[in-house]
Amino acid sequence: MSEKKFSKKHEWIMLDGETATVGISKHATEMLGDIVFVELPEKGKGLEKEEKAAVVESTKAASDVYTPVSGEIIETNQPIVDDPSNVNKDPENNGWFFKIKIKNKSELDTLMNQADYEKFVKDNPN
């Protein structure tokens, strides 16, 4: 598995062969608060980088989740739909959103590594 990368929209992505797993960062969950609703993309759906892929809602508001890379959705994480608090519990592991068959691995180069992301969050507190 490759290293975990992050987008400016607070998604994380981790590549394993041709497939990448995508979720939202721990920081994002802290900003959102208690997540009470998750809507995931349909399997087989093709998405372009930075296209809307999923929706999360906290008690306060709804937010879109974007895919950090282009590709085809091959799997989604039903347990976070059945119990959305699973996202808050473990956002960067068991709280993953979807797996995407990646079209162009070079898109990963435009994303941040853990250290850069932490700096980005610090510089952009909102």
Partner 1 sequence: MEKTALYNFHKNLGAKFVRFAGYEMPIQYKEGIVKEHIITRESAGFFDVSHMGQLFVSGNDSSEKSLEKIIPLDFKEIKMNQSKYSFLINDKGGVIDDLIITRVEGGFNIILNAACKDNDIKEIAKCLKSESKYELRKDLSLIALQGPKSETILESIVKGVKLLKFMNGSYFEFQGKKIYITRSGYTGEDGFEISVPNVNVVNLTKLLSDKGAKPIGLGARDTLRLEAGLCLYGHELNEDINPVQANLKWAISKRRRKEGGFKGWEKIKNDLQNGVSKIRVGIKPSGRIIAREGTKIFSSSGDEIGIVTSGTFGPSVNAPVAMGYIQSKFSEINNKILLEVRGKRHDAVVTKLPFYKKSYVK
- Applying CB under 8 A, the residues found at the interface with partner 1 are 33-34, 36-37, 39, 55, 57-62, 81, 84-85
Residues 6+ apart with CB under 8 A from 3: 14, 113, 114
For partner 1, give the closer residue by CB, 39 or 50. 39
Which residues are 27's β-sheet partners? none
Q: In the structure encoding, which two tokens stand for residue 91, read together?
A: 């956002």
CB of residue 78 to partner 1, shortest distance in Å = 13
CB of 58 to partner 1, least distance (A): 8
Minimum CB distance to partner 1, residue 61 (Å): 8
Chain length of the chain: 126
Least Å distance between CB 59 and partner 1? 4
Q: Are 46 and 101 in contact (CB under 8 A)?
A: no
The Cα–Cα gap between 94 and 77 comes to 9
The single-letter code of the amino acid at 81 is V
Which of 53, 8, 61 is closest to 35 using CA atoms? 61
Between 2 and 33, CB nearer to partner 1: 33
Q: Which is nearer to partner 1, 18 or 34 (CB)?
A: 34
Choose between 44 and 125: whose C-beta lies nearer to partner 1: 125
